[in-house]
Amino acid sequence: MKFLVAGAGGFIGGHFVKRLQIEGHKVICVDIKKKEDWFQLFDSNQNVSLDLKDLDNCISVTKDVDYVINLACNMGGMGFIENNRAECMLSVLINTNLLRASLKNKIKRYLFSSSACVYNTEMQKNSFVKGLKEKDAYPAMPEDGYGWEKLFSERMCRHFYEDYGLEVRIARYHNVYGPEGTFDGGREKAPAALCRKVIQAKLTKKNFINVWGDGEQTRSFLYIDDCIDGSMKIFESNFTNVFNVGSEEQVSINQLIDTIEIIANYKLERKYDLSKPKGVRGRSSDNTLIKKSLGWSPKFSLSDGLKNTYKWIYKRLSENHDNKKFSNY
């Protein structure tokens, strides 16, 4: 079949394209970034740099396509989200216009990638909170900017199904990490950022790292292969409701660092910076619905996923260190 992957130049997008290729599908890959900035670029596909906030672009690129995978949005780690709320909310134009174009071009099925940032922040004020069920997004009080955009876009998908019959599928991602993603520059998420910091300290023989907050914030982190598996389960199902795609293995940031230190075999002092963005105090996924409905649960433990991630980042940082380019990081 012929797929359009919006946001194909991003971290999750690159892995999604790889999976679709392995399964033998034709893929049109679209991202606003220049191709040299894509995380993964496969020459066997049609690769297009295009702004999908524009309706005409969406109509053009969805022509003769069977399925749409919408992973496109302007986002990053907590440091980026909290300082770019308007930019994050503008991504609503991408989903709006891709839905309109999908209706016009008779797309058979449409997957929207949502986020755990849609969840009511009043339920996330303590460390090691109870896992969040899909229904806990209401009454609505998501993270400002990015969370509101994702929640609004979920509703729009739902109404395009109810009003127009467009077959939509919705996955709520919980802190996805793994190789082939960003690990510096301000958009990286906690697992990649902390792997980078530990590796930098080890390579330069420093005895400390800086940590945002007090380290007692808690999250669950989902390895990228599990994310793609869960997403495909949702996409291929007959369910139009929202599903969590996350891990139930909730850890504190300090515990996350503990695990990375074991992988690195390098112990560090931690200097806590309480002035940095910290996000909600605690968040984890409740996977009851997706387990019951689709039989999916993550295969990778946090430790195993971090080993793969650490190895990938270490290779890149050590190469730059050896070539005297380490200061760029």
Please identify every residue annotated as catalytic: 146
Q: What tokens were used for 144? A: 């400002």
Strand ranges, E, within 99-256: 109-115, 168-173, 176-177, 208-212, 218-220, 222-223, 242-245, 250-252
Question: CB of 39 within 8 A of CB of 180?
Answer: yes
- Nearest of 118, 111, 100 to residue 163 by alpha carbon: 100
Cα atoms found within 13 Å of the Cα of residue 162, Cβ hemisphere only: 7
Angle made by CA atoms 90, 121, 303, in degrees to the nearest 5: 90
Contact residues for 274 (Cβ-Cβ < 8 A; gap 6+) = 213, 214
Radius of gyration for the alpha carbons in the chain, expressed in angstroms and rounded: 19
Give the chain's count of helices (H) and strands (E). Answer: 11, 13
Cα atoms found within 13 Å of the Cα of residue 277, Cβ hemisphere only: 15
Give the type of residue at 265.
N
Question: CB of 57 within 8 A of CB of 32?
Answer: no
